Structures are given as structure tokens and as C-alpha cells.
Structure 1
Amino acid sequence: MSRKRPTVADIRAMKGKYQFTMIRVETLEELEAAEKAGVDMVSVPPQMMVLPHFREVAPSLFAVPGVNFFEVGTADDFVHWAFALYKASADAVYCSASLATVKRLADEAIPVIGHVGLIPSRATWTGGFKAVGKSAESALKIFDAVKAYEAAGAFGAEIEVVPAEVAAAISERTSLFMVSMGAGTGCDCQYLFGDDLLGQNRGHVPRHAKAYRNFAAELDRLQRERIAAFSEFAADVRSGIYPEQRHVVGIEAGELRRFLDGLPVS
């Protein structure tokens, strides 16, 4: 049975009543898998969002395109960027730029999801890639950031690597749709990267990640098979085994004679 794609109003109405699921997908195959698996939301690269067949692949997924703010530019750049994505059927946009930029987008009725806690593009301000909000002072700063997003007109905020108790308390005290990445179940949505979920991340695996498959091992196996196939092809060419007669096009004997007779004498 087909699903209806949720609206911002639908999602707001479900706050505190339902745990949404969200996955960062990087390929159309992953997008299709999320749709068929019944995932609620996807974070996607902007270039995927504008593909003409995006909604054929993912008719019911609430889609949030996003990149780091410095890849977009100024507030004016963000508005043009967001309009193009919204026209392409994006449901919201991710924006970790300034509150002034968030407000510009919100003033144009673009649903915006911000970012609090560990913000990778700004991790130097909070001590690097580690948990944020483990002291009362730090936790209160996160709460203040959430309320600032609220005042700026944002629709939601990703809250990353924050103590579960802190995230839950903040989520209870805001109207924002709170997307948890390593911040516990007291928020409105659980978010994982597809690379981590599929077990194909070869770098640092964050604490909150859970691998449901081991794609890295399968990709290694496929690479070994790829190398073996290429090696066999090269060996066949060098030994004369390839191409065989079945691999080439033939010509009738009479036509071949006529062709050869038509060639200049060498």
C-alpha cells in the first residue's frame, strides 16, 4: 500500500507521539532502499535532489537536502539555493549557517533544520569531535541555541552527540522537531548515516553508529573479483584466447572477396 509523504504540519502534529527514522543516503540505490524499507526521512546531497526522477524513486520520503554552510555561501546564496531545491520537491533544507541566514530562509517559508551540539563544521569551538553538553553550562548553551533557532523561525534542529537526558529535556521544552544523532530517544527522530548503517565506513565509526550489514567485506570481495576478472582478460588477450570467433562479426565469403578485390594492391 502506498504511503503519503508527510508535510511539516503532519510532523509537528506527531511531536512526542512517534519516533521518525532518518538516513543520510548518497546514491539512488540507497534512496530506493530507504523508500522500500519504509524509512520516514532522508538527508540527501543537493545534486541528488534536483534529479528529474527523484520522486519516481522516492515518492513518500520527506527529503532534506544539505551540505556544510560554507559550500553554499552568503544568506542571498542560501535563499537562491533553497528555492531551487524547494522547486525540485525538497520538503525542508538543512542549514547550519548563521541565525540571520536561517531567518532569511524562514521568512520565505522554507522549512529549515539547523544543527546544535557537536557541529562537525564548527567542532573547533567545542573542543573537536567529541560529546557536547556534558556540563550544565555547556548543556544550557545548547538549550539557548535551540531557542534561538526557534525564534529565527526554524522548523527543526539536528542535535548531535549530546547526553540523552539533556537532549530529552530540551526536546520537551521546544516546538522544534528534534533530530537525534547520538542523542538518545527523547527526541523526535533517530538519524544515521547510510555508510555507518551498512557497515561500509572504513574510517572512524562513531559511538552512536550501528552496522546492520558488513558492506565493507562485500566490497572487498567484489574488488578482488574485479581484479581477478581484469587480470584474466589481460592474460587471454596476450595468449590469443580472446577474442574467439563468437566474439566477432562475420562476413560472407563472396562479400569479403569483393571487398578485397576493391582494395589497392599493397
Structure 2
Amino acid sequence: MTARTRVTIPRLAEMKAAGEPIVMVTAYDHPSAQVVEKAGVDVVLVGDSAAMVVLGHDSTVPVGMTEMLVLAAAVRRGLTVPLLVGDLPFGSYERSDEQAIENAQRLVKEAGCDAVKIERGGTSVDRARAIVRAGIPVMGHVGLTPQTVGLLGGFKAQGRTAASAARIAAEARALADAGCFALVFEAIPSAVTEILMEQVDVPVIGIGAGPATDGQVLVFHDLLGISTGHTPKFVKRYAEVREAMTTGVAAYAADVRGRVFPGPEHGYPIDPDESAELRRLLDGRPPLPWARSAPG
């Protein structure tokens, strides 16, 4: 098997120019990183969606830099080839350019990210520009932006009117002009995406935005059938891993309760003479409290 060359930002631009689809997966830990590495993924995003997918929250808002740094560092240790992008979580970049740069630097220096991602247009465009000027690559994100889902009226498709689609187009252009090397389009009608693709010249990764984008991203837990609860319309399940996990754990529990596990093959041996010597050393000593027989 031919060794893959590490994916870089210039490589993504080359892929766009050549019409070569970009594969991105959102992952949150070391084992997941090892899987996507072996599977040949191009870009890995450590998303603040971890708040919902692995931490049990009902939105992305509660997760902070502390959690994102731990998760991103774990993913970094499992990757060699894919480009690693870390989400700047809600509250980590909105206040000022200085705050945005500081936290972007932390994702790069402490967690080993190659780039960071921010959501929305507006003041986020200024933050993106500042981070890029500080020497850190930025990926933008428009359409459904989970960090501000309350303003959007919930987790639903965006750009379903000409006016709202034009706003998304303006945000996308502004982020690209600010120096973002790529954009994520989330939950945008396919026909709108086709039009918006004419507005930007950087790679666009879609999630629920149709086939016209330069690449696609799905959450590791969604595409493998690990997640439960509501499944977004744009998710395609390629496996049912949760069902296999449940079956495996249930079989383990049955073996333990039936005293089938552990078997002789799961234990460590000891020389019979050493075992006999242990009995001699302990001979005459009172049994430990928990080893005494229960009163009859």
C-alpha cells in the first residue's frame, strides 16, 4: 500500500482545483482518530459538537477551551496524515481579537491543531482576519451555526429564502476575503449551495448542503451509528456500531454472571512450588475479614 502524504492547506486547494472530493470527519478521541487515519480521511475536525455527542449536553454552548484542548490533543496523538482542525468554542473568541488569537494559539501550541474553525460572519470575520494575521489558518462556518442556534430558531436548515441565502453568501465571501482557507456550509438547501459555490474560491466542505461542495463532513458517531436520539436528515449511517457494542457488553455481562468469564486462558500462571510456598507462609494466619464464611 502506498504511503499517503500528509494533507496540508495547499493540498486542499489543489484538490479543489482538480475536482478531487475532500473527505472530512468530526472526531473527538484517540481511538476515533486512529480509525479515520487508517480509513484515509483528509481532514479531521475536533468539533465543539463534542458537547452534545460525547459530553451529554443539549447544545454546543457548554463546552469550553479546557475540554477542547483535551479532546484535540487526544485526536492529535492518533493522527499522522490528515489535517487537524480544532473548533474555537462559544465564548472563546467573540470578546476581542486578542482573546481570539490567544485561544487559537492554545489550540495550535497545546493541542497540536493545524488550524482552527470559527462560526458565523459579522464580528467573527474580524476575529478570523486577526487570527490569520497572527499566522494561524482559519476555517469558517456558515449556514446553521450551532453556537448561535437560539438566534436561528433551532437546529434547522438555513438559507431557505432568497434574503437569508444572500446573507449566507455575504458571510461566506467575507470570511474568504478575511483569509479563511476553507469554509463549512451546514444545513443549506442544495440548490442554494450550487449558487453560493460561485461566490467563493476556497474549498467548501458541506454537511447537509448537497453534493455541489468540494467535500463532505459527518460526525464519527453519526456515520457509524454510535449516537442515539435525533438523527439529522443529512446523516447517512454506514454502520450500526452501537448495536454491536451493546451486544458485546451484554455477552460479557452474561459470561460474568454465569461464571464463564474469565476462563483458564485469561489467567496468569504461577509455578506450583511458589504456590505451595505461599500457602506455607500464610499457614496459621487468620483469614481476612472478607474471606470468612458468612454466619449460618
Q: In the superposition, relative to structure 1, how do residues 110 and 254 fare at CA in structure 2: closer, same or farther (>3 Å)?
A: closer
Residues in 2 aligned to 1:209 and 1:253: alpha-carbon distance in whole angstroms: 60
Could you tell me which residue of structure 1 aligns to residue 264 of structure 2?
none
Could you tell me which residue of structure 2 aligns to residue 81 of structure 1?
103
Amino acid of the structure 2 residue aligned with 1:62: L
Shift of residue 15 of structure 1? 1.9
Query: What per-residue deviation string (whole Å, max 9, x for no partner) do you get for residues 210-241 of structure 1?
Result: 111111211221232243344346x99xxxxx
Shift of residue 67 of structure 1? 4.7
Amino acid of the structure 1 residue aligned with 2:11: D
Amino acid of the structure 1 residue aligned with 2:224: L
Could you tell me which residue of structure 2 aligns to residue 91 of structure 1?
114
Aligned with residue 188 of structure 2, among 152, 162, 165: 162
Shift of residue 254 of structure 1? 9.4
Amino acid of the structure 2 residue aligned with 1:3: R
Give the secondary-structure state (helix, strand or coil) at the position aligned to 1:96: coil
Matched, 1:33 2:35: yes
Residues in 1 aligned to 2:237 and 2:107: alpha-carbon distance in whole angstroms: 31
Q: In the superposition, relative to structure 1, how do residues 255 and 223 fare at CA in structure 2: closer, same or farther (>3 Å)?
A: closer
Amino acid of the structure 1 residue aligned with 2:20: Y
Q: In the superposition, relative to structure 1, how do residues 254 and 42 fare at CA in structure 2: closer, same or farther (>3 Å)?
A: closer
Q: In the superposition, relative to structure 1, how do residues 119 and 254 fare at CA in structure 2: closer, same or farther (>3 Å)?
A: closer
Give the secondary-structure state (helix, strand or coil) at the position aligned to 2:275: coil
Alignment map for 1:194-213 (pairs within 5 Å):
194-213=220-239
Amino acid of the structure 2 residue aligned with 1:93: V
- Aligned pairs, how many? 249
Alignment map for 1:241-260 (pairs within 5 Å):
250-252=275-277, 256=281
Query: What per-residue deviation string (whole Å, max 9, x for no partner) do you get for residues 156-180 of structure 1?
Result: 2211010112112212221232110
Give the secondary-structure state (helix, strand or coil) at the position aligned to 1:179: strand
Amino acid of the structure 2 residue aligned with 1:206: P
Unaligned residue ranges in structure 2 (runs of 5+): 47-67, 262-266, 286-296
Give the TM-score taking structure 1 as reference length: 0.82
Could you tell me which residue of structure 1 aligns to residue 84 of structure 2?
63
Residues in 2 aligned to 1:253 and 1:31: alpha-carbon distance in whole angstroms: 46
Shift of residue 117 of structure 1? 0.6
Could you tell me which residue of structure 1 aligns to residue 172 of structure 2?
146
Runs of 4+ with >6 A deviation: 246-249
**Contact kept? 2:88, 2:116, Cα under 8 Å:** no
Give the secondary-structure state (helix, strand or coil) at the position aligned to 1:159: strand
Give the secondary-structure state (helix, strand or coil) at the position aligned to 2:163: helix
Residues in 2 aligned to 1:203 and 1:118: alpha-carbon distance in whole angstroms: 19
Shift of residue 255 of structure 1? 5.2
**Contact kept? 1:46, 1:67, Cα under 8 Å:** no
Residues in 1 aligned to 2:211 and 2:203: alpha-carbon distance in whole angstroms: 13
Give the secondary-structure state (helix, strand or coil) at the position aligned to 2:197: helix
Shift of residue 7 of structure 1? 1.9
Residues in 1 aligned to 2:279 and 2:204: alpha-carbon distance in whole angstroms: 77
Give the TM-score taking structure 2 as reference length: 0.74
Give the secondary-structure state (helix, strand or coil) at the position aligned to 1:78: helix
Please provide the CA RMSD for this pair: 2.9
Unaligned residue ranges in structure 1 (runs of 5+): 237-243, 262-266
Shift of residue 129 of structure 1? 1.1
